[in-house]
Structure 1
Amino acid sequence: MVEARRSEILSLVQQHGELPVTELSKLLGVSEVTVRSDLKVLVDAGQVRRTRGSVRLPLDIRRESPIEETRLEHSAAKRRIGRAAAALVRDGETVFLDVGSTTTEVARALSPTLQGVTVVTNGLNIALELERLSGVRVIVTGGTLRPLQHSLISPYALDILRRIHADRLILGCNGVHAEHGVTNANHEEAEIKRLMVEQAREVVVVADHSKLGQISRAHIAPTRRVTTLVTDRGGTQPSAALRDAVLDLILA
């Protein structure tokens, strides 16, 4: 019971970014004394940090790297994951293709024989990658540019996405955890990703082995919402709990 409550605290903080202790007490139906006791354990474990009267996720002191740099990390694995995920796309589908270095590899691997496919993306570099495919119509969401990632965020991006229902979403992330779900380092991008999850029938998460078991700042979706997890065979392998949590697993 105690562990479940602490997991719920962590999940709530991931979703909101920061929460007052009084609000956590109300949401959990326990006293503020109990919440503070739980927070001490989470703080000692480095999973959250306390501010005056509130709790938030730990500071990530790493700078955000340009996508041109991150695509070099585990590049061979990302290419294999990209090919495996691209093979899931069928003629006539509407697909959300999320931003990121691994989803860029998906765009590069999409078959030139595809016909009648509509790809909706908030990634400018991904839209340019897809120009070569005559059978793919590309819709760019619009919104405010995040230069390092070539991604578009609110305002306006959400307005477009609310009007579209997709057969599948191919989703990038910074962490996939059996209990804490799919998470991302940037809150603004996570907002876009959450709406894509809501608007998609199937969710395909593409994540190299370094993302497995990791928890990042912003919650995207619970693991039970993941239809397929596509990862690589190198390094850390999915835990038994993670394998059980997703509907399907593809090792590229």
Structure 2
Amino acid sequence: MIDARRSEIVSLVKQHGELPVTELSKILGVSEVTVRSDLKVLADAGQVRRTRGSVRLPTDVRRESPLEETRLEHSAAKRRIGRAAAALIRDGETVFIDVGSTTTEVARAVSPTLQGVTVVTNGLNIALELERLPGVRVIVTGGTLRPLQHSLVSPYALDVLRHIHADRLFLGCNGVHAEHGVTNANHEEAEIKRVMVQQSREIVVVADHSKLGRISRALIAPTDRIRTLISDRSGPAPPPELRRAIPELHLV
């Protein structure tokens, strides 16, 4: 019932653009206190934006931050996550390493003692990070360059990925939510990520605490497709429903 009401709030805001809290209270037949409580949850998930006495859709037209800037956000946490994730790679494996600031830290932490590992990536910076490792063969997907993220998207990237079966995918994202799954802000990148998920035996999501419980624009995968989530202890504890949804949730 609570989820249905919150979904209706989002639907009403999409329909009207902006609504006063008092109006929402009347439409839904609940108190303003209840509406404000719902709005806090929805705002924390990035679905609405609260203003004084009203609610509106979030501003979707935002400047996309370069990878060099996002790497500075929660940088120590991302390094810890990267080290924990990279430690999962075994000799002889084929792995996908997705684009992003946290997955870049995974690439940086790959052990130089590994042998016979193949890494497939659509991140140019990630390929360069791995170039130094003698036991790692790097395959770059090709495709169209997204300069701010140094990532390659369609066309062509999807064609390469569909011919590869990976033991493990290290997946970056903008949001991890128990009900709404793993999501991303950019639709082109999300398309690549979805194919990586389809072609991987095991999915490891790497996401700092600011991504937990949040919902972004484009779905990558439902939570029941995720076996492992590696995050950090720097922020609030992960939502209990997220702990229940993902079998292996590790905080580093």
Shorter-chain TM-score tier: 0.7 to 0.9
Q: Counterpart of 1:88?
A: 88
3-state SS of paired residue (1:249) = strand
Give the superposition deviation at 1:3. Answer: 3.2
Q: Which amino acid aligns with 1:72?
A: L
Give the superposition deviation at 1:147. Answer: 0.0
* Distance across 2 between alignment mates of 1:171 and 1:240: 22
Q: Counterpart of 1:25?
A: none
Q: Counterpart of 1:132?
A: 132
1:125-171 deviation digits (Å, cap 9, x = unpaired): 00000001110100000000000000000000000000001001000
After superposition, residues 1-252 of structure 1 pair within 5 angstroms as 3=3, 47=47, 58-252=58-252
Give the superposition deviation at 1:94. Answer: 0.5
* Distance across 2 between alignment mates of 1:126 and 1:108: 8
Give the superposition deviation at 1:113. Answer: 0.4
* Distance across 2 between alignment mates of 1:222 and 1:117: 28
Structure 1 pair 249–116 and aligned structure 2 pair: CA distance change class (3 A): same
- Specify every segment of 5 or more residues in structure 1 that has no aligned partner in the other structure, as ranges: 14-36, 50-56
Give the percent of matched residue pairs that are identical in Structure 1 and Structure 2. Answer: 80
Question: Is the CA contact 1:212–1:237 (under 8 Å) kept in the aligned structure 2?
Answer: no
Structure 1 pair 5–116 and aligned structure 2 pair: CA distance change class (3 A): farther
1:174-227 deviation digits (Å, cap 9, x = unpaired): 000111110000000000000100110100000000111111111100111111
Q: Which amino acid aligns with 1:121?
A: T
3-state SS of paired residue (2:198) = helix
* Distance across 1 between alignment mates of 2:107 and 2:179: 29
1:11-40 deviation digits (Å, cap 9, x = unpaired): xx9xxxxxxxxxxxxxxxxxxxxxxx99xx
Q: Which amino acid aligns with 2:197?
A: V
> Normalized against structure 2, the TM-score is what?
0.80
3-state SS of paired residue (1:65) = coil
Structure 1 pair 6–155 and aligned structure 2 pair: CA distance change class (3 A): farther
> Normalized against structure 1, the TM-score is what?
0.80
Q: Which amino acid aligns with 2:135?
A: G
3-state SS of paired residue (1:169) = strand
* Distance across 2 between alignment mates of 1:7 and 1:134: 51
Q: Which amino acid aligns with 1:247?
A: P
Question: Is the CA contact 1:212–1:236 (under 8 Å) kept in the aligned structure 2?
Answer: no
Count, aligned residues: 218
1:31-62 deviation digits (Å, cap 9, x = unpaired): xxxxxx99xx9xx867379xxxxxxx854243
3-state SS of paired residue (1:90) = coil
3-state SS of paired residue (2:192) = helix
- Specify every segment of 5 or more residues in structure 2 that has no aligned partner in the other structure, as ranges: 12-26, 29-34, 50-56
* Distance across 2 between alignment mates of 1:135 and 1:146: 29
Q: Counterpart of 2:31?
A: none
1:67-117 deviation digits (Å, cap 9, x = unpaired): 011000000000000000000111111100000000000000000000111
Structure 1 pair 191–48 and aligned structure 2 pair: CA distance change class (3 A): farther
Give the superposition deviation at 1:4. Answer: 5.1
**TM-align CA RMSD:** 2.5
3-state SS of paired residue (1:132) = coil
* Distance across 2 between alignment mates of 1:137 and 1:223: 30
Q: Counterpart of 2:22?
A: none
Q: Counterpart of 1:18?
A: none
